[in-house]
Amino acid sequence: KEETLTLELLYYLLLVLPEFVEKNLNFVFFSQNPDGGFGFMPGTTSYMENTYFGINILYHFNRLEKEVSKKALSFVLSCLNGDFGFGRNSQGISFLNTTYYGLSVLRILLEDRKT
């Protein structure tokens, strides 16, 4: 069975096959949607976990462009809920894992803005 390429798969391949991931960075860029979030592949709905995978991959290769970061920050902040947790998207309720993803992405995006 052939494995479908997804952001999650690329993220987990970072440590063992970084050259393969680097060759597929356009796949990562094309997975970002107009709302700033990332789908699991180009043309799919934005969710927090995919945004986490996409941002981490781009950050790893120092390819986190200003416009990508700005849009991603907007998406992540739209997922912040009144309980200070993060949903999978702007309509989602907070979960521990999506809150972790949201805070992790914010840390990268805000750290990247300082440099």
Residue 115 pLDDT? 56
| Residues in CB range of 68: below 8 A, 6 or more apart | 29, 32, 58
Domain assignment present for residue 57? The answer is: yes
Residue 71 pLDDT? 98
Could you tell me the pTM of the whole model?
0.94
Q: How far apart are CA 27 and CA 31, in angstroms?
A: 6
Domain assignment present for residue 86? The answer is: yes
Domain assignment present for residue 2? The answer is: no
Domain assignment present for residue 103? The answer is: yes
Structure tokens at 48: 């927090």
Residue 114 pLDDT? 63
Q: How far apart are CA 96 and CA 115, in angstroms?
A: 29
Please tell me the total count of domains within the chain. 1
Q: Could you say which residues of the chain have pLDDT below 70?
A: 1-2, 112-115
Domain assignment present for residue 71? The answer is: yes
Domain assignment present for residue 1? The answer is: no
Domain assignment present for residue 23? The answer is: yes
Structural domain harbouring 32: 7-114
